């Protein structure tokens, strides 16, 4: 995919009305510090369209990025960040659930998991929740450049076991540094929006 334009078009907070978009949507979910902004920037060939931060929990809104006026990247709030109150976390959860329930254009949900660590309880809850809302999430195993090549298969196997993935579940290892996995993710997105 050649990126001609990419812009943050809509930002929805806890009380916002979600946009009724005409274009296909592709959503990204993941823990607060899993590298969601780096992935989105990497896919869009932008340095800082999605804001990366050294302090996790930055994305507290649902952000809609218009890509080439052809589709939307939907950046969901990061979960599992301890410094946020239980009440706010519950509201984020409701916001994400509302989005998954009401979007008419959502084609695929990518769930980001840090390849260096076994998925935690929050990851499993999020995975099960996406499935319960009728989607088969595609796992993006981020931070691939931070492990040795020899660890990749073992770590992917751990992700599969912890999330109890089905045999045909898709896992795409990704590195924001080398951009490994970028083309595979784009191929998947293009197939998803072509259906």
Q: Which residues in the chain show pLDDT less than 50?
A: none
- pLDDT at site 81: 62
Is the distance from CB of 143 to CB of 175 less than 8 angstroms? yes
- pLDDT at site 77: 87
45 pairs with which residues across the strands?
none
- pTM, full prediction: 0.93
- pLDDT at site 90: 78
Tell me how far apart the alpha carbons of residues 184 and 47 are, in angstroms, rounded to a whole number: 20
Dihedral sign, Cα of residue 63, residue 36, residue 22, residue 95: negative
Closest by CA position to 44, among listed 29, 26, 61: 26
Tell me how far apart the alpha carbons of residues 186 and 70 are, in angstroms, rounded to a whole number: 13
DSSP 8-state secondary structure symbol assigned to residue 128: H
């Amino acid at each position: 995919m050649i990126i001609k334009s990419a812009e943050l078009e809509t930002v929805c907070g806890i009380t916002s009305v979600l946009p009724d978009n005409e274009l296909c949507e592709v959503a990204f979910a993941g823990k607060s510090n899993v590298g969601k902004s780096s992935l989105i920037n990497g896919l869009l060939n932008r340095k800082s369209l999605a804001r990366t931060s050294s302090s996790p929990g930055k994305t507290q809104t649902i952000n809609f990025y218009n890509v080439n006026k052809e589709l939307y990247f939907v950046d969901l709030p990061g979960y599992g960040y301890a410094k946020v109150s239980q009440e706010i976390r519950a509201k984020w959860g409701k916001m994400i659930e509302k989005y998954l329930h009401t979007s008419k254009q959502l084609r695929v949900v990518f769930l980001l998991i840090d390849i260096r660590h076994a998925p935690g309880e929050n990851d499993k809850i999020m995975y099960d929740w996406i499935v319960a809302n009728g989607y088969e999430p595609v796992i993006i195993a981020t931070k691939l450049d931070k492990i040795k090549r020899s660890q990749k298969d073992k770590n992917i196997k751990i992700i599969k076991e912890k999330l109890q993935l089905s045999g045909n579940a898709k896992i795409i290892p990704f590195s924001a540094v080398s951009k490994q996995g970028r083309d595979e993710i784009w191929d998947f997105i293009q197939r998803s929006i072509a259906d």
